[in-house]
Every structure is written in C-alpha cells, then in structure tokens.
Structure 1
Amino acid sequence: MFFIGSGALLYQAVDFALRQGHAVDGACCPPQDGSGKRLERRGVSVSWSENPSVSLPPLLAGITDGVVFSINNAHLLSDALLRSGPRFFNIHNGLVQRYRGLAEVCIVAALCRGETRYGATLHELLPQQKVDAGPVLAQLDAPIGPEDGFAEVLRQSLVTCQRLFELQLAEILAGRAEAHPVPLEGQALNYRNLPAVLQACEDPARLARAVRLGPYAGFFPRLHEALSAAC
C-alpha cells in the first residue's frame, strides 16, 4: 500500500500499518514535512512532491495490495492518477453529508451552526467527482460538548480520523469494505466561504467557541488571520 499526505495523522497511520505487519511501499509528502522525515528514519521510502498527480504514477505500478490512502492530504488528485490502477481512499475530517472541504473551515462552520456531533469519513476517491463526494465506506463521530471550542473539536476529530483508519484498514485490504453513496448537502467549504459562515452565526456564544483556536492558532495561520479580521 501507498500513502499520500502529511503531518502526524499520516505518520500515525503508516506506523499502525507497519505495526500490524502490512507492507508499506512508500509515502508521498510535501517537501520538508516533518512526518515524512520521521518515516524515512523508519525505513519507509518517501517521495517529496508538491504535486502527487505528476510524481506518483511511476511509483504506483505494482504496489502491494493495490491500495493508496490519502491522509491529511492538501492536494486534489487528478482523474488520470485516480484511473492509474490502484484504489484510492481518503480520510476526511468531517461528516461529508454536511461538511466537505477544508477541515478547519468545516469545524468552524459546525460550531457556528450549533452541531452537537462531529466526526470523520472514510470514502473512496473516484474520477470526475466533487471534493469529498466519493462513496462512503465508514464514518465515526463523537459529541461536541456545550463548552467545546475549535481546539477541542479539532483534537477529538483527529483522534476519530485515526481510529477510523485503524478500524477499517484490515477490511479494505481484505476486500470486504463496501462503499455506498450518501446524500450531500451544500458545497465543499473553503476560505472563500468563511465570511458567510461567520456572518450567518447569530449566537455570540457559538461564534466565540468557533474562533477559539487555542494552541492550534500557529498551525492554521491563514485561519487565525481570517478569524481575527472578521471578529
């Protein structure tokens, strides 16, 4: 199997696969990604690339298990790559029925809208589909506490993403996981949608929780700047 992505979530997923005795053929990470460097020290072959759609096709020929996972991956994969042979699966931080797109914007939106649960989705990536709109294999969610802000929801959602991967990995590799379409509401969210999301929030308490980035402000400088300007 092969991995595309970055950060701690990617490292934890590869580490789990290795500890379970599965063959990991390699990973594709953006240049200077710290988790990619950690994987290299574990003996994993890492391809450093700003554009996986261009660099990956030669690396995916004959990969073990014929499976590619996209985890904390910021790149949209081209239709040509998705047609190249392996099956592609993505872990999305959000329940795709209502929250597709950038995870940090989805979490802000969920808090502004007063959601009481938030979670993660494992879905297949197929050609000619909208962002995070592929058929769903599994989802997990967890409650949002009445005082939880962005930091708390993000922290819990990262745990949920990792747990979802761990629960479904063996099912996918054994060919037992079944994907099915789910109804989707609205559009995938990105920074262009953020002003409208904030403006639509009429509850000051919800808004205060949504913009409370806590220790994650430094990890999302663009979000921090946008929220500071809006509020």
Structure 2
Amino acid sequence: MFFIGSGALCYQAVDFALHAGHRVDGVYCPPGDATGKRLERRGVKVTAGERPGEDLPALLVQTADGVVFSINNAHLLPDELLRCGPRFFNIHNGLVQRYRGIAEVCIFAALCRGEARYGATLHELLPGQKVDTGPVVAQLDFDIGADAGFADVMHQSLATCQRLFEQQLAGILAGGVRPVAVTMEGSAFSYRSLSGLIAACDDPLRLARASRLGPYAGFFKRLSAALAEPR
C-alpha cells in the first residue's frame, strides 16, 4: 500500500500498518515534513513533493496491493491520478453528510452550530467528485461534551480518525469493503466560510467554545489569526 499525507496522523497510520505486518510501498509527503524524516529512519521509502498528479503515477506502479491512503493530505488529487490504477481511500476529519472540506473549519462550524456529535469518515476517492463526497466505507462518531471547545473536539476527532483506519485497514486490503453513497447537505467548508459561520452564530458561548483553540492555535495559524480579527 501507499500513503499520501503528513503529520502525526499519517505517521501513526503507517506505523500501525507496519506493526500489523503489512507491506508499505512508500509515502508521499510535503518537502521538509517531519513525518517523512521519521519514516525514512524506519526504512520506509519516502518521496517529498507538492505535485501529486505529476509525481505519483510512476511511484504507484510499485504498489503491490493496489491501495492508496490519503491521510492528512492537503492536496486535491486530480482525476487523472485517480484513474491510474489503484483504489484511493481518504480519512476525513468530519462526518461528510454535513461537514466536508478543511477539517479545522468543519470543527469550528460544528461547534458554532451546537452539534451534539462529531466524528470521522473513511471514504473512497473517485474521479469527477467534489471534495469529500466519495462513497463511504465506514464512519465513527462521538459525543461532544457540553463544555467542549475546539481543542477538545480536535483531539478526540484525531483519535477517532486513527481508530477508524485501524478498524478498516484489513478489510480494504482484502477487497472486502463495499462503499455506499450517502446524502450530502450544504457545501464543503473552507476559510471563506468563517465570516458567515461567525455571523450566523447567535450564541456567544458557542462561539467562545468554537474559538478555544488551546494547543492547536500555533498549528492552525490561519484560523487563529482569523479569530483574532475584530468583529
């Protein structure tokens, strides 16, 4: 199998696959990503790049089981790449029926809207789809605590993403999963959505919880800066 992604979530997925005895043919990471360097030290073949459509077709020829995972991957994969042979699967931080797009904005939106539950989705990537609209393999969800803030939900959702990957990996590699289409509401969330979400949130406590980035403030600098702007 092959991985496209970055950060701790991608590293943990590769680490689980290796410990489970599966073959990892390679990982495609952004240049300078710490995950790539850690995996290289473990003997994993790592390619650094920012043009997956150009770089990956030649690399994926070497994928023995024909499976590619996109985990914490910031790139939109072009249709030509998705048609090159392997099956592509993505782990999305959010329940795609309502929360698609940039993960941190999805969590902010869910808290602004007062959602009681959040979760993660494993879905297949197919040509011709909009962001995070592929057929769903599996989902896991969890309760959002009454006083949970952004940092709490982000922490729990990342753990849920990892657990979802671990639960479904063997079935995907065995070809035993049958993704199903689900009904999608609204549009995918991006940073352009923030002003509208803030304006629509008529509960100051909800907005305060959604803005409580905690240790993630330094990681999501764009979100932190946007929330610091005068309203």
TM superposition score normalised by structure 1: 0.99
Deviations 1:95-153 (A, max 9, x none): 00000000000000000000011000000000010000000000001110000000000
* SS in structure 2 of the partner of residue 14 of structure 1: helix
* SS in structure 2 of the partner of residue 139 of structure 1: strand
- 5 Å-filtered alignment, 1:8-157, equals 8-157=8-157
How far apart are the structure 2 equivalents of 1:30 and 1:19? 24
Question: Structure 1 residue 53: deviation in Å?
Answer: 1.4
* SS in structure 2 of the partner of residue 187 of structure 1: coil
Q: What amino acid maps onto 1:218 in structure 2?
A: G
Q: What percent identity do the matched residue pairs reach?
A: 70
* SS in structure 2 of the partner of residue 64 of structure 1: coil
1:198 counterpart residue number? 198
* SS in structure 2 of the partner of residue 56 of structure 1: helix
Deviations 1:18-70 (A, max 9, x none): 00000000000000000111000010000100111111110001412100000
How far apart are the structure 2 equivalents of 1:62 and 1:155? 34
1:162 counterpart residue number? 162
Q: What amino acid maps onto 2:23 in structure 1?
A: A
How far apart are the structure 1 equivalents of 2:7 and 2:128? 27
Answer yes or no: is the 8 Å Cα contact 1:24–1:64 preserved in 2: no
How far apart are the structure 2 equivalents of 1:228 and 1:144? 24
How far apart are the structure 2 equivalents of 1:121 and 1:224? 25
Answering whether residue 2 of structure 2 is matched by residue 2 of structure 1, we say: yes
Question: Structure 1 residue 230: deviation in Å?
Answer: 4.9
Ranges of 4+ aligned residues in structure 1 off by more than 3 Å: none
How far apart are the structure 2 equivalents of 1:201 and 1:52? 37
Q: What amino acid maps onto 1:128 in structure 2?
A: G
1:185 counterpart residue number? 185
- Give the RMSD, CA atoms, in angstroms: 0.7
1:217 counterpart residue number? 217
How far apart are the structure 2 equivalents of 1:100 and 1:121? 10
Q: What amino acid maps onto 2:227 in structure 1?
A: L
How far apart are the structure 2 equivalents of 1:220 and 1:54? 28
How far apart are the structure 1 equivalents of 2:168 and 2:8? 19
Between Structure 1 and Structure 2, how many residues are aligned?
Answer: 231
How far apart are the structure 1 equivalents of 2:211 and 2:199? 13
- Unaligned runs of 5+ residues in structure 2 are none
Q: What amino acid maps onto 1:188 in structure 2?
A: A
How far apart are the structure 1 equivalents of 2:64 and 2:107? 35
Q: What amino acid maps onto 1:116 in structure 2?
A: A
Q: What amino acid maps onto 1:88 in structure 2?
A: F
* SS in structure 2 of the partner of residue 180 of structure 1: coil
- Unaligned runs of 5+ residues in structure 1 are none
